[in-house]
Structure 1
Amino acid sequence: MISTDISRWLFLLISLSTWITISISKEMRVVCYYTNWSVYRPGVAKFTPQNINPYLCTHLIYAFGGFTKENTLKPFDKYQDIEKGGYAKFTGLKTYNKNLKTMLAIGGWNEGSARFSPMVASAERRKQLVRNAIKFLRQNHFDGLDLDWEYPAFRDGGKPRDKENYAALVQELREEFDRESEKTGRPRLLLTMAVPAGIEYINKGYDIPKLMKYLDWMNMLSYDFHSAYEPAVNHHAPLFPLEEANEYSFDAELNIDYTIQHYIKLGADPSKLVLGIPTYGRSYTLYNPEAHDIESPADGPGTMGEYTRENGYLAYYEICEYIKNDGWDVEQINPNAMGPYAHKGNQWVGYDDIDIVRRKAEYVVERGLGGIMFWAIDNDDFRGTCHGKPYPLIEAAKEAMVNAYGLSNENLISPPSKPIKPKARSRPKTTTTERVVYVQAEKEVETTPSRRRNRFKTKSKEDSSKEIIKPRRTVSKPEHKPEPKSEESSTYSSLIVTPSYTTPEPPSTPDMAGGFKCEDEGFYPHPKDCKKYYWCLNGAGDSGIVAHQFTCPAGLYFNKAADSCDYTQNVLCNKKLQKSSTKTTKATTTTTTSAPTTSGRLPTSLFATSRAPPRISPITRPTTTTTTTTTTTTEAYKV
């Protein structure tokens, strides 16, 4: 009898263990990069953190940051990231979705190897960077760090020892992240890495077994297998090869499946490989407009798009507009191997459409990979002008992944469930007014390259089992009919909130505060006035750290614990000091402005079944007494 009971308990324990293992293995990530230069795009293409749906992705990565010669992290665009509140708006999205994780990526294509290589070569510099990275990430409320060195041992400044030194940096970062978490009781900072698809880049620059030990996951840059500067047109993100491999065929290696198998052979854990999906296409100018098949002669990169303004590069929403409104022809060789291409005259672009991103999501499930990643969230059709709903590529891939695994939404890490309306509570009365301001990009900058380059052709003698796709061609003139809209097209999409979001605006132009001495960058309370606080920022030139004074909206005090303005009952304040200080405080005018956008108004019917998340917290970065002049350009839509 006892033996039977023990057997039953063992069976239950084994069953429970198996169920837990399966559940954990089925947790999937939806990682989305946000490019901070997209704020400078003109008109309806302007994209800020306030345009991001906080329930769309499980992890958001802010691209890019950098590091200084003193081995501390820094913003690449201090004006947008700090002064205009880019970081604060981005991490503030967690106010709406408590399961969302926001991370900072450092590096990128433009950063190259010139600074990374000497930094990782010095144990002392690595130590300084590790210590300073934690401070910077915590101070700016990021949940982790994404390393984006493109690429170790290559490009100007790269050294053969980069591979070993880069792995050492990763180990030291992870160990210090662990120690900091244990010491403070805070959740451990995440550590991820963007890794290439080019075989020689991988072999010479990345110690895969060691990196796997310390990274939470790798974001695979599984696109740009072909560039727009090649002599023949080709699709830049094929899932499988179109032809059977032979010793003379380079293209047999230039596809996602080959790259995935190569990583696994080197010791990669499939569950830590997150597959990158492009929301952009690579475009060419055809040498002969009549010859537009794959591998037809090219005469350089394609003409730049109206919004992205980079030769050889088009966002999905630009491609979609060309097809829908400008009569481009679409051709599909095989939807299981690669996305379609579109062409008109001498212009040609290969891109991923809804069908191929679904297939790639299914591939992730079939191979037991760790999720999907998108470069970038601002290149998808985020306004929903082509398919009647925003983010068609990201939504399609997520839905396919959920369906392929037979999961519920809860199996996604940070599931994008419908927000729950909080209990009503009284709010203090304020004199804050709300107004909508429409502005152009605040300053002109040179167009920033896409920063994602993977092409590196190599021959390999390794045999690899591949799924060979026999070509078949479909030519179509797409019908310009919007997709039928249903109240609840799928379990997953019905949980996604589609309107644009606006997080509180940070101060636009701070007041100089000469009487306060900053010991370090960050937010500090006013010593005598609970309504006021200081934002200490690195000044121009050799001015050092400069204090800027701000005043909270009426009825709110500065809360150091949250580094924001908060209800008075949540803040400990010396009432006597507050009473005496208010007598000498100058009157201030505070306004709360919604997100400045330059979009055209979308039909309200698109949002008929959607619910915006409730504004749970009063925490805000108020504007100051300083006023700024803005230029009205076009009507924005507001839900």
Structure 2
Amino acid sequence: MWWKIAVVSCLLIGASQITETAENDSKVVCYYDSRAFVREGLGKVTLADIEPGLGQCTHLVIGFASINEQKRVVSLNPLRDLDHGNRLYREATFLRSKFPKLKVLLGIGYDVSGDPEKWLQMLETSTARIAFINSAYDLIKTYAFDGIDLAFEFPKIKVKKQRGSVGSFFYSIKKAVGAAGKPVDAKFEEHREEFTSLIRELKNSFRHDGYLLSFTLNPNVNSSLYLDVPQIINNIDWVNIAAFDVQTPLRNKEEADYAAPLYKPSERNPELNIDFQVTDLLARGVPTSKIVVGIPTFARAWKIEDGATSTGVPPLKADGPTDEGIESKQEGLFSYKEVCGMLTNPQNKDLKGERGPVRKVGDPSKRFTPYGFRLPDKDGKFGLWMAYEDPDSAGNKAAYVRGKNLGGVSIMDLTYDDFRGTCTGDKFPILKSAKYRLM
């Protein structure tokens, strides 16, 4: 019998090692938007501010660079980022001296240019692609980055009116026969081939130095138009799904709705949720280990007036974005810390007007996210509706990632998490919850 016990012991040890390896292989990709460095007041977030959270991260992406008219990769703020200024790039890669296992990447793209046409033009000639590749290589070599995260600016799908199931069925037929409107990119087939060439050429230029190349799929981009998965996947270290902002008050001013649902809410576009995107990429041949799911740390918020209900159940009529947050400095966007302060609490429960409490509606189904709302007053003012992520919903998404054996999660980004611990005294609650549920 001793040999049976030994075999069982070996199997248990092996299983333990496999589990530990799987946990260690799970990525926690943390983003730092360097625009936070120049925000004023409480909105200013430095690398020193996020440093206490970096022990939870496997990778840090410093964002975001873009391309100029010559199609070269450039810093959007040289005085902030480069050596002749505040040396943010240099300080970011120096963080590896404190966190030796941390990989630091340069983020390129992610909706900072607002001009997808410029990016598509870069694809269309080998000269422009070479300029992009050489300038990207020069930046990561000069500042000792471990690679790049490329959030290529493909055109986004058009905003569509929410339809019931019957309307959705007939719309899908119209779409199939080409009667539902012009495509966002008439040359998408050419651009798909050119993007494949760009990825291959980028990876070839990085291979000698062992630089990483990840690709971020931006929100509201139809990846089936542009990603030839069999041709590119071996040249990409992982695909990061920016799985949020499917609805925003800037994208759709008239309708407030979930911004980052895990599954499809009733009678919505079936493609605008995390589960669809993950399932689609898996079906097209992306390995489970190469799919990373993005988790936001912020709320998207709309003004609401007439038509709001006492439950706040979305979608509901809206009137554009709320005023900018004190910390976020962006219309229709609040950091998680700001959200915490707005939800009903002993300090605000008796306040009125724009400082009145926002009622939280949780997500017991674990399919969407929580939301909060404040009904308009008798004059139709101060109404607000927001979709947001909290530690529980972030943990649910990490549990989904673990259940499907995906490659990990990304936290987008650290500057909007509660890095000061203002809400409950716990710093980086969204990051920590996601990391814990991933284990």
Q: Output the TM-score relative to the length of structure 2.
A: 0.80
Cα distance in structure 1, aligned partners of 2:239 and 2:399: 19
Which residue of 334, 341, 345 maps to 2:371?
341
Cα distance in structure 2, aligned partners of 1:250 and 1:115: 31
Which residue of 215, 235, 248 maps to 1:193?
215
Which residue of 259, 270, 274 maps to 1:236?
259
1:123 aligns with 2:131: no
| 5+ long unaligned stretches in structure 1 | 1-10, 182-187, 244-248, 403-639
Partners of 1:29 and 1:59 within 8 A in 2: yes
Partners of 1:284 and 1:301 within 8 A in 2: yes
Partners of 2:151 and 2:218 within 8 A in 1: no
Partner of 1:546: none
Which residue of 356, 360, 383 maps to 1:330?
360
Displacement of 1:113 after TM fit? Answer: 2.1
Partner of 1:380: 417
Partner of 2:166: none
Partners of 1:224 and 1:236 within 8 A in 2: yes
Deviations along 1:143-181, one digit per CA (max 9) or x if unpaired, are 111111121698999842221111111111112211x22
Displacement of 1:114 after TM fit? Answer: 3.0
Partners of 1:240 and 1:255 within 8 A in 2: yes
Partner of 1:77: 77
Partners of 2:43 and 2:326 within 8 A in 1: no
Q: How does 1:128-147 map to 2 (within 5 A)?
A: 128-147=131-150
Q: How does 1:617-632 map to 2 (within 5 A)?
A: none
Deviations along 1:11-61, one digit per CA (max 9) or x if unpaired, are 999999998776654411111111111122232221011212232311111
Cα distance in structure 1, aligned partners of 2:66 and 2:253: 30
Q: How does 1:501-580 map to 2 (within 5 A)?
A: none
Q: What secondary structure is seen at the aligned counterpart in 1 of 2:420? A: coil
Larger radius of gyration: 1
Which residue of 270, 276, 279 maps to 1:252?
270
Which residue of 213, 234, 248 maps to 1:227?
248
Partners of 2:297 and 2:413 within 8 A in 1: yes
Partner of 2:104: 102
Displacement of 1:96 after TM fit? Answer: 0.6
Cα distance in structure 2, aligned partners of 1:383 and 1:357: 18
Counterpart of 2:260 in structure 1: which amino acid?
A
Which deviates more from structure 2 when the two are superposed, residues 22-31 or residues 234-243? 22-31
Partner of 1:305: 325
Partner of 2:170: none
Which residue of 380, 383, 387 maps to 1:350?
387
Partner of 1:49: 47
Partners of 1:72 and 1:133 within 8 A in 2: yes
Partner of 1:265: 283
Deviations along 1:285-305, one digit per CA (max 9) or x if unpaired, are 112354522212212222321
Deviations along 1:203-224, one digit per CA (max 9) or x if unpaired, are 1122222221110001101011
Cα distance in structure 2, aligned partners of 1:381 and 1:278: 12
Which residue of 420, 429, 434 maps to 1:392?
429
Counterpart of 1:86 in structure 2: which amino acid?
L
Cα distance in structure 1, aligned partners of 2:185 and 2:38: 30
Partners of 2:29 and 2:60 within 8 A in 1: yes
Cα distance in structure 2, aligned partners of 1:159 and 1:63: 29
Partners of 1:343 and 1:349 within 8 A in 2: yes
Counterpart of 2:318 in structure 1: which amino acid?
A
Q: What secondary structure is seen at the aligned counterpart in 1 of 2:117? A: coil
Cα distance in structure 1, aligned partners of 2:186 and 2:155: 6
Partners of 1:192 and 1:216 within 8 A in 2: yes
Displacement of 1:197 after TM fit? Answer: 4.9
Partners of 1:113 and 1:158 within 8 A in 2: no
The alpha-carbon distance between structure 1 residues 152 and 393, as it changes in their structure 2 partners (threshold 3 A), is same
Partner of 2:153: 150
Task: Report percent identity of matched pairs.
Answer: 26
1:93 aligns with 2:114: no
Partner of 1:583: none
Partners of 2:370 and 2:387 within 8 A in 1: yes
Partner of 2:397: 360
Displacement of 1:315 after TM fit? Answer: 1.2
Cα distance in structure 2, aligned partners of 1:16 and 1:127: 50
Cα distance in structure 2, aligned partners of 1:375 and 1:250: 24
Cα distance in structure 1, aligned partners of 2:112 and 2:277: 24
> What RMSD over aligned residues (CA atoms) do the two structures have, in Å?
2.8
Q: Which has the higher helix share?
A: 2
The alpha-carbon distance between structure 1 residues 13 and 381, as it changes in their structure 2 partners (threshold 3 A), is closer
1:37 aligns with 2:38: no
